[in-house]
Amino acid sequence: MDFNTALYTDLYQITMAQSYFNHGKHNKKATFDYFFRKNPFESGYVLFCGLEQLLDWLEEVHFSEEDLYYLKQQGFQNDFLEYLKGFRFNGSILSVEEGQVVFPFAPILTVEASIVECQIIETFLLNILNFQSLIATKASRVRYIAGDDAILAEFGLRRSQGYAGILASRASFIGGFNSTSNVLAGKSFEVPIGGTMSHAFIQSYDNELSAFMAYAETFPDNCTLLVDTYNTLKSGLPNAIKVAKALSENGQQLAAIRLDSGDLAYLSKQARKMLDAAGYPEVKIAASNQLDEHVIRSLKEQEAEIDIFGVGTNLVVGRENGALDGVYKLCSFDGDPRIKISENLKKMNFPGSKELYRYSNNHGQIIADAISTKGEPAPPSMAHPFEPHKTMALDSVNSQSILKKAMTNGKRITQRNSAKEIANQASKNLKLLPNEHRRFDNPHVYKVGISKTLEQLRDQLKNERK
């Protein structure tokens, strides 16, 4: 399957494109903003992820001969198909950096291109950014609860939604995980890979000890034993200790044991006692089985003796929020600002090209974002986007514009960053967010406002359209 095809879109993007073409509007310039309206998981932020894949795709996206033949079969006109033959993305992208913490209603990414280019790329843009940002945010919450010292292993590929599992592994790593079991993701994104064994491996031997010994002989320098196939405390742990002894006699060391069922808090405490009593305090304890940030918090509260948390299904499917509600809205066309009218002020977009300023205190912690019109300097105060009587003074804090040009004339102008580099930057960005916004329960709402100039433009267009 060619993922660089411009057919990676919804039908209405192409039907609208033909109508633009038929009426001579296809080369008119437009600006679209990508943003979201609600934080997932009742969290206080979103960790932005997926920009690298978007930029790569935009540089290569096209309609192949096979694509055009397929569209012809669907009834599209020949002159329009001839136009699509030369389709390339030649626009510009402004974006916050990948791995940045972002908040509702602020423009995270802006597309400036012909109206047809803007429409054709919309679906892929939403697909790639919404999903990876969702998973990266979930992963960062797991890291926050588990603590910096815990080892986090992602292994959700078998439960993920098809190929999305590859990108879920990348996003999990950027969000704070140490490794993935996903070998293709490891190769594609240079993410560390790790894994142990399955119950089937142990069952394939006549007894558990023989299975453990065989695995240890194969991987003496990185051996983790799954101890719950038959009886964790009466069979699995005693046999694992026998293997640890055999390895130590050869100058090697058992890396870890893994618990995959039962009362993980109780079993981990008993396992720690047994390993310590046998003289193996260095052997780590891994745990898995439907873990997420909620279960890990419970395990931590119970003082479970777990060093490594294996998280799969709940992470890669974004439970309990299966999607980030990121949207892509037209804000200017042919040089004029545009607005969508709604009775609900939150459903209206902010018109025109814009700047996004981030404010921080003297300790470097971020405290607010202000959206302003393009070219407007950092505003000294901002209004609440939907409650005009609420304002916030900003003149005594530091500010910087965080929407940066990432692509010009269809070519990326930023350097490529590895998943590791983005993960490191994400960790730094998260540490700049005060704890009241990162806390697990009832996080404080991060303030996002608009400048007086943008507020006036929105209200003017709203009144004109009504």
Q: Which residues pair with 332 in a beta bridge?
A: 31, 337
Give which of 457, 439, 262 is closest to 350, Cα–Cα: 457
What angle, rounded to 10 degrees, do the helices at 164-175 and 115-146 form?
A: 50
- Read out DSSP for 35-90? E-SS-GGG-S-EE---HHHHHHHHHH-B--HHHHHHHHHTT--HHHHHHHHT----
The answer to whether 153 touches 311, Cβ cutoff 8 Å, is yes
pLDDT at 310 over 80: yes
Does residue 339 have a pLDDT over 70?
yes
Structure-model confidence comparison of residues 161 and 240, the more confident one:
240
DSSP state of 205: S
Task: Answer whether residue 405 shows pLDDT above 90.
Answer: yes
Mean pLDDT confidence for 303-328: 95
Question: What percent of the chain is modeled with pLDDT above 90?
Answer: 94
Q: What are phi and psi of 101, to 5 degrees?
A: -85, 135
Q: In the predicted model, is pLDDT for residue 389 greater than 90?
A: no
Coil/strand/helix, residue 155: coil
Q: How far apart are CA 175 and CA 169, in angstroms?
A: 10
Does residue 2 register a pLDDT over 80? no
- pLDDT band per the 50, 70, 90 thresholds, residue 465: confident
CA–CA separation, 302 and 308 (whole Å): 16
Confidence of residue 415 (pLDDT cuts 50, 70, 90): very high
DSSP line for 252-283: ----EEEE-SS-HHHHHHHHHHHHHHTT-TT-
- Mean pLDDT of all residues in 427-452: 96
- Mean pLDDT (the chain) is 96
Instruction: For CA atoms 7, 13, 15, 17, give the dihedral sign.
Output: negative
- Evaluate whether 264 touches 304 at the Cβ level (below 8 Å): yes
268-289 average pLDDT score: 98
Instruction: Output the pLDDT for position 245.
Output: 98
Residue 1 predicted with pLDDT over 70:
no
Mean pLDDT of 117-124: 98
Tell me the pLDDT tens digit for each residue of 237-276: 999 999 999 999 999 999 999 999 999 999 999 999 999 9
CA-based torsion, 301, 303, 307, 313: positive or negative: negative
Bond preceding residue 293 cis, omega within 30 of 0:
no
Average pLDDT estimate for 187-216: 97
**Residue 380 clears pLDDT 90, i.e. is over it:** yes
pLDDT at 347: 84
pLDDT of 344 = 80
- Residue 66: CB atoms within 10 Å: 11
Name which of 14-18, 181-185, 385-389 the model is least confident about: 385-389
Does an H or E element contain 454, and which?
Answer: helix 452-465
pLDDT, mean of residues 365-388 = 95
Mean pLDDT of 288-294: 95
How sure is the predictor about 117, in pLDDT bands with cuts at 50, 70 and 90? very high
Rg (CA), the chain: 26
Through-space distance between the first and last CA atoms of the chain, rounded to whole angstroms: 47
**Residue 3 pLDDT grade (very low, low, confident, very high; cuts 50, 70, 90):** confident
What are the pLDDT digits (tens) for 178-199? 999 999 999 999 999 999 999 9
